[in-house]
Amino acid sequence: MSFTLAEARAADAADPLRPFRDRFHLPQGLVYLDGNSLGALPKAAVGRLGRVIEEEWGEELIRSWNSRDWIGAPQRVGAKIAPLIGAKPNEVIVADSTSVNLFKLLVAAAGLSDRKVILSEAGNFHTDLHIASGAADLLGLQLEIAPRAEVEARIGADVAVLLLTHVHYKSAERFDMARITAKAAEAGIVTIWDLSHSAGAVPLDLNGAGAELAVGCGYKYLNGGPGAPAFLYVAEPLQGRLLSPLRGWMGHAEPFAFTDDYRPAAGIDRMLAGTPPILSLAALEAGLDAFEGATPARLWSKANALFDVFHGLVEQNCPELVCITPRLPEQRGSHISFRHPNAFEICQALIAADVIGDFRAPDVVRFGLTPLYLGFEDLWQAVDRMAAILRDGTWREPRFAVRGKVT
């Protein structure tokens, strides 16, 4: 390999983010390249959850809503996401799943005009398209799905909402958020950005880009744990004009007045619906606290260094794999994907060799390059094992063709 194990170790020793790795539990011998799907466990989450369960739930019981500010958790945790996405603390709130938040924002945004079209990208993450089709049916709107290369050309006066994923879940291709948001706004369109594969790795400046609405997952680069609640961003000027279709009591101006009428809370709080999931919020907060001291610029420069090393090693040692992720940093996110007709089997053989990536149908093997806790030696080890699997044809063993429910 052109990038030797000794060079990988030297790069790790010189990495200013290296100390952050100690904030995570990474199983011995395992190379974890799936942090863009489920972030690793922040060590602090273990103690934090223990305390919330034993002291706050166990001892303090229902008093904790006030005494431990459980009730303020959606806003407090949202404010910790804000600096990672270039938003003000009062513009981000944590609630529900990305799918549900998307539904709330789509319906609310569509209500701002009498236009009839929701526009999105063919091959967008399927939940986004499914949620948009449901919202469109409900509202009597039309969902138009344009090929990626034609989305911009389709921007027009009949479009109410443009729904795009900033970094594509499969290819990692990245849209130019500032340019597209501006172009859409000029045509009177509100854009909703799905930041699931961006937040926590890719530099984001929602305020600078003029972004009005966004959602994103808490369990990927933000390390909030399996099924962590998602986040939702509404730019300040829009907050008073949006109405959530899910008018739950937590989004009411006075939830504890118990009135029959619905009066939306001021600001982004109106986007809440039900009771906040305190245990999950505590885990997500620990995940976000693990970013303390790591600037977005430093994270991105590490992500780029990881990308270049991994890309170079695979190109040289696994030529059967065809990279579908753009090389240029401004055109991509922080994962890298390759096409191969037997991507599923290769992925399974890799997992058996303690290298975890994931498979995306029909023929893509995908690797998350999480800048907060991955090292260069991890990448060297992963490619060394993958090259052996391809060279020896280990992936052809029948056991690697068996598919589970989750891929």
Ligand X SMILES: Cc1ncc(COP(=O)(O)O)c(C=O)c1O
Residues that bind ligand X (CB under 6 A): 97-99, 125, 127-128, 165, 169, 194, 196-197, 217, 230
Q: Find out whether 397 and 44 touch, Cβ atoms under 8 Å.
A: no
Q: What residues have CB less than 8 Å from 151, skipping those under 6 apart? A: 119, 120, 121, 162, 164
Half-sphere exposure at residue 71, Cβ-oriented, CA atoms within 13 angstroms: 12
Catalytic residue among 104, 366, 367, 376: 366
Please indicate whether residue 373 is annotated as part of the active site.
no
Give the nearest distance from C-beta 335 to ligand X in angstroms: 11
210 in Cβ contact with 186 (< 8 Å): no
- Of the residues 23, 174, 220, 360, which is catalytic? 220
| Min dist. Cβ of residue 120 to ligand X (A) | 12
d(CA 278, CA 65): 9
**DSSP conformational letter for 167:** B
CB of 280 to ligand X, least distance (A): 12
- Shortest gap between Cβ of 168 and ligand X (angstroms)? 8
The answer to whether residue 194 is catalytic is yes
Q: Spot the catalytic one: 3, 219, 310, 367.
A: 219
Least separation in angstroms between CB 246 and ligand X = 14
| CB closer to ligand X, 172 vs 386 | 172
Active-site residue identified among 20, 103, 125, 231: 125
Helices 278-289 and 73-85 meet at what angle, rounded to 10?
Answer: 30
Q: Who's near 276: CB < 8 A, 6+ residues apart?
A: 70, 71, 73, 74, 94, 95, 229, 250
Residue 336: both structure tokens together: 């890298």
Which residues have CB under 8 Å from 118's CB, separation 6+?
A: 106, 110, 132, 135, 136, 141, 142, 143, 144, 159, 160, 161, 163
* Closer residue to ligand X, CB minimum distance, 64 or 196: 196
Q: Which of 227, 206, 208, 205 is nearest to 218 (CA)?
A: 227
Residue closer to ligand X (CB basis): 125 or 307: 125
Residue 166 CB, shortest distance to ligand X, in Å, is 9
**Closer by beta carbon to ligand X, 184 or else 230:** 230
Q: How far apart are CA 46 and CA 50, in angstroms?
A: 6
Measured CA to CA, the distance from residue 211 to residue 314 in angstroms comes to: 36
Nearer to ligand X among residue 165 and residue 381 (C-beta): 165
Query: Vertex 147, ends 150 and 140: CA angle to 5°?
Result: 95
> Which is closer to ligand X, CB of 169 or CB of 367?
169
Assess whether 366 carries a catalytic annotation.
yes
Kindly list the catalytic residues. Answer: 125, 194, 219-220, 366
